[in-house]
């Protein structure tokens, strides 16, 4: 083995050890280093990631399912913890039905969410609602799986 090859092998070994050592360090903690996908406590991003911003409804219904109630309980707890935020509850419907009917259905869905959040201690002065009916679908297609995604109420933290 020539001295140049020996030097290159030694250099490569040192570089490899340094790389492995750098990867094994535990990152510092703190708000500036939350990691991928993490959100600062009390942020709108935390609300989306840890609480969830939407609940879903059955066809032609504004009744809350047990799953929707669980999500709204989490939303209420978060909103009661972070009282500096206001929310807009958006009511939505799927594409079936007339524009007028779906606007009314979206309004009922938004209102049932507003009433539930108030029943869980969220101050009514912090909540507004608006119906979009079928005007803002999240899924556009012609089958049940898409329609079910559009039958929703969305809590927008402001």
pLDDT at 25: 46
Mean pLDDT of 133-151: 92
Task: Output 87 or 32, whichever has higher pLDDT.
Answer: 87
Q: Is residue 24 situated within a structural domain?
A: no
What is the H or E stretch that residue 145 is in?
helix 144-150
Cβ contact 134:104 at 8 Å: no
Residue 18 clears pLDDT 70, i.e. is over it: no
Q: Which domain covers residue 66, as residue numbers?
A: 41-157
* pTM attached to this predicted model: 0.77
pLDDT band at 148 (very low <50, low <70, confident <90, very high): very high
Q: Which CATH number is 79's domain given?
A: 3.30.1330.60
For residue 138, tell me if it sits in a domain.
Answer: yes
Judge whether 2 lies within some domain: no
- Strand 127-133 and strand 152-157: the pairing is unpaired
- Residue 20 in any domain: the answer is no
Q: How many domains does the chain divide into? A: 1
In a domain, 16, yes or no: no
Looking at the chain, the whole-number percentage of residues with pLDDT higher than 70 is 77
């Amino acid at each position: 083995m020539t001295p140049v090859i020996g030097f290159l092998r030694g250099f490569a070994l040192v570089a490899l050890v340094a790389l492995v050592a750098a990867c094994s360090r535990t990152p510092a903690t703190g708000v500036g280093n939350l990691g991928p996908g993490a959100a600062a406590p009390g942020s709108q991003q935390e609300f989306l990631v840890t609480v969830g911003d939407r609940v879903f409804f059955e066809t032609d219904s504004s009744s809350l399912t047990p799953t929707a109630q669980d999500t709204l309980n989490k939303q209420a707890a978060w909103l009661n913890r972070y009282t500096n935020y206001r929310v807009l509850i958006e009511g939505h419907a799927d594409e079936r039905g007339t524009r007028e009917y779906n606007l009314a259905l979206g309004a009922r869905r938004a209102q049932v969410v507003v009433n539930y959040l108030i029943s869980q201690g969220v101050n009514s002065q912090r909540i507004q609602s608006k119906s979009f009916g079928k005007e803002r679908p999240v899924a556009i297609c012609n089958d049940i799986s898409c329609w079910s995604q559009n039958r929703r109420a969305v809590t927008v933290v402001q």
